[in-house]
Amino acid sequence: MTNEQKNQIATLRQKGCGYATIAQALGLSKSTVTSHCQRNNLGGMKSSTTTPVAPDKKYCKECGKVLMQLSGRKESKFCSKDCRVKWWNSNQEKVNKKAVYTFTCTFCVKTFTAYGNSNRKYCSHDCYIRDRFEGGETV
């Protein structure tokens, strides 16, 4: 094996090529390439650079932490309430474009927007309470 071939093997390994591919490209036998790589610490490179990801694992959309899914429960996308709030805050613009509905408050007649078609009648909980308990009494 020439020095040039050795260099080429190292380069190709760094690009993530398999032993067979390298052997073919350089006209060497696969076992020659394999033993050369193992002797020169070029062996495990491919598998160590790509961390295998278990397909059933879910990650928090905000912080990327692995989520513990409880079977039977609704699948959550966040590891915690904090992350959910953070994500929603930073993605509000996107969310807003998707599905924001405009409503008119039954009590104060102010228009307000809410995410999703939730059939809201009041702009705030306050208005809801006031309409329910004071509504009939105001002249």
Please report whether residue 108 would count as binding Zn ion according to CB under 5 A: yes
Please report whether residue 127 would count as binding Zn ion according to CB under 5 A: yes
Alpha helix (H) residue ranges in the chain: 3-14, 19-26, 30-39, 45-49, 81-90, 92-98, 125-133
Assign 113 to helix, strand or coil: strand
* Cα dihedral 41/46/51/54 (nearest 10): -130
**Position among 63, 85, 99, 129 found at the interface with Zn ion (CB under 5 A):** 63
Indicate the residue among 25 and 60 with the shorter CB distance to Zn ion: 60
Only segment of 9-17, 20-28, 51-59, 126-134 that touches Zn ion (CB under 5 A): 126-134
**Position among 32, 105, 130, 131 found at the interface with Zn ion (CB under 5 A):** 105
- Residue 76 C-beta: closest distance to Zn ion, Å: 10
What six digits make up the tokens of 122? 């009041």
**Residue 37's CB: how many other CB atoms inside 10 A?**
20
Report how far residue 34's alpha carbon sits from residue 22's, in angstroms, rounded to the nearest whole number.
10
- Residue 105 C-beta: closest distance to Zn ion, Å: 3
- Residue 96 C-beta: closest distance to Zn ion, Å: 20
- Note the residues at the interface with Zn ion (CB under 5 A): 60, 62-63, 65, 79, 83, 105, 107-108, 123, 127
